[in-house]
Amino acid sequence: MPGQLRVRSPTGGNKPTVLLHGTSIFDIRASMPAAHDIAEIDGLRLYALPAALVETSPTFFSQKPTDARTALTMVSDASEILARLLEGGHSTIAGRLAGAFRNIGRERIADDIIRSMQAAGYTVRETDPFDIRLELSLPRRETSPYAGRIRVMWQEMRGEVIDNFPEAPGGPSDVAGYLRRVDDIYVTDAYHSLSIEGYRVSPELIDRVRSGNWNPDGDPQDGEYRDALAARGYYQAFEAVKRSVGSVLANENPGRVVDDDHGQWYRELFAPSVAAGIVKPGDLAGYRSDRVFIRNSMHVPLSPNAVRDAMPVFFEMLEAEEQPGVRVVLGHFIFVYIHPYMDGNGRMGRFLMNVMMAAGGYPWTIIPVQRRAAYMAALERASVHQDIVPFSRFLGELVDQGMSGKTAATLPTG
């Protein structure tokens, strides 16, 4: 959600209209763009992408680098941009855009801009408008801006994760012992993960549904209350996640494992609610087919079509990533950033995080419900401001405690 939306109009008032949550609309008094510079998308009259890149200010690249790089990934060749640069004699802008394309590894487009402008008699000095250079591996043309954004975010954030998250200890020598420890903390993990999502569960309820003493037909309370159904679903999903942990501890690629297995986790998570008639069977079909919004957040998750563009790229980046800590932090964050399901994204994100923990030899890590506010604030900072440092440090602190034998999450007493 942008802080300010700028609207260009010949009758603009050059003043802001203040909206909720510190946002505003600013109507700029200016002539309308040429017809070929306007694109209508979802009922909105917007600048066409080539025109937008020519019109944008130099500070945009440094202040909104993710947005800028995402836009650049959508350009397949220099022709549409060059037409506007040559017609307007924009030699300074040409140098800036050439530097921007070279920053994301699009050398051919950068060279075409420089050479074409020079051939037309313009002197062009190439400048990189970004603050840092990224090593991006991009397809020739990214057909979806959402897929491009996931690639860009991953590369922009991974260095800061490496700097702010503990180094991986390496895979455990005692795999059976690791899995026993995961079993031992199940009740604590379920209590805190379900409580973070607002369910009212007790350790006794969690243990009861795990033990098999759960009969929604014979016990109306078990069948009618969402808390009991959520606890049973969490147990079934946890068992499926443990099998995925076993796979990564057997040295299978963790990105490929979660790509293959996460659908089964989700089905187990909500199967009891489907059986009780609370959730429709069609909801288990896969990724969501409707919009979803997050309470008290400025982050608007991707549209359903965008989810289907972004998720394959997410798993591609996860599979290719060599740094265990990056897989942990960005695996959790980008999954919930995309928000692929109507419900259960937080629980699924924490399951994914802990499979990545196992792959790096980190201990299974529980996020305490008492630290929910800090957890959500760190995710919001990463989602809205593209600042992954607070979330990296938040998880890193919990991991440090776990590796030193300290208990960060406990069960309530009394």
- Whether the pLDDT of residue 306 is over 60: the answer is yes
Q: What is the pLDDT of residue 226?
A: 80
* Closest to 136 (Cα-Cα) out of 93, 110, 94, 107: 107
**Got the DSSP string for 13-24?**
-SEEEE-GGG-E
Q: What is the pLDDT of residue 317?
A: 96
pLDDT digits (tens, 9 = 90+) for 393-408: 999 999 999 999 998 8
- Whether the pLDDT of residue 77 is over 60: the answer is yes
Q: What is the pLDDT of residue 147?
A: 92
CA torsion 329-255-351-371 (nearest 10°) is: 0
215 versus 389: the higher-pLDDT residue is 389
Count Cα neighbours of 16 within 13 Å in the Cβ-side half-sphere: 9
CA distance 219 to 222: 5
pLDDT digits (tens, 9 = 90+) for 156-210: 999 999 999 999 999 899 999 999 999 999 999 999 999 999 999 999 989 988 8
Q: What is the pLDDT of residue 218?
A: 57
Per the document, the length of the chain is 414
CA distance 104 to 69: 7
Mean pLDDT of the 76-102 span? 94
- Backbone angles phi and psi of 40, in degrees to 5: -100, 120
CB atoms within 10 A of CB 412: 9
Q: Which residues pair with 41 in a beta bridge?
A: 44
Report the relative pairing of strands 44-47 and 38-41 from DSSP bridges.
antiparallel
pLDDT digits (tens, 9 = 90+) for 318-329: 999 999 999 999
Q: Where are the alpha helices (DSSP H) in 74-144?
A: 79-88, 91-103, 107-119
Q: Which residues pair with 6 in a beta bridge?
A: 26
CA distance 304 to 275: 26
* Closest to 346 (Cα-Cα) out of 290, 240, 265, 252: 265
Specify the amino acid at residue 167.
E
CA distance 184 to 238: 12
Going by pLDDT thresholds of 50, 70 and 90, the confidence category of residue 70 is very high
Asked which of 135-139, 151-155, 274-278, 371-375 is least confident by mean pLDDT, the reply is 135-139
Q: Which domains, from first to last, does the chain contain? A: 48-138 (no CATH), 146-403 (1.10.3290.10)
CA distance 188 to 207: 10
pLDDT digits (tens, 9 = 90+) for 234-284: 999 999 999 999 999 999 999 999 999 999 999 999 998 888 777 888 778
Q: What is the pLDDT of residue 141?
A: 63
What stretch of H or E contains 320? Answer: helix 304-320
**Got the DSSP string for 250-283?**
TT--HHHHHHHHHHHHHHHHHHHHHHTTSS-GGG
Do 192 and 164 contact (CB within 8 A), yes or no? no
Q: What is the pLDDT of residue 164?
A: 98
Q: State the chain's mean pLDDT as an integer.
A: 92
- Whether the pLDDT of residue 57 is over 90: the answer is yes
Going by pLDDT thresholds of 50, 70 and 90, the confidence category of residue 223 is very low
- Whether the pLDDT of residue 224 is over 50: the answer is no
Place of tokens 């009991």: 228
Q: What are the distances in angstroms from CA 22 to CA 4, 8, 298, 376, 407?
A: 9, 21, 10, 19, 39
- Whether the pLDDT of residue 333 is over 60: the answer is yes
Report the relative pairing of strands 38-41 and 15-18 from DSSP bridges.
unpaired
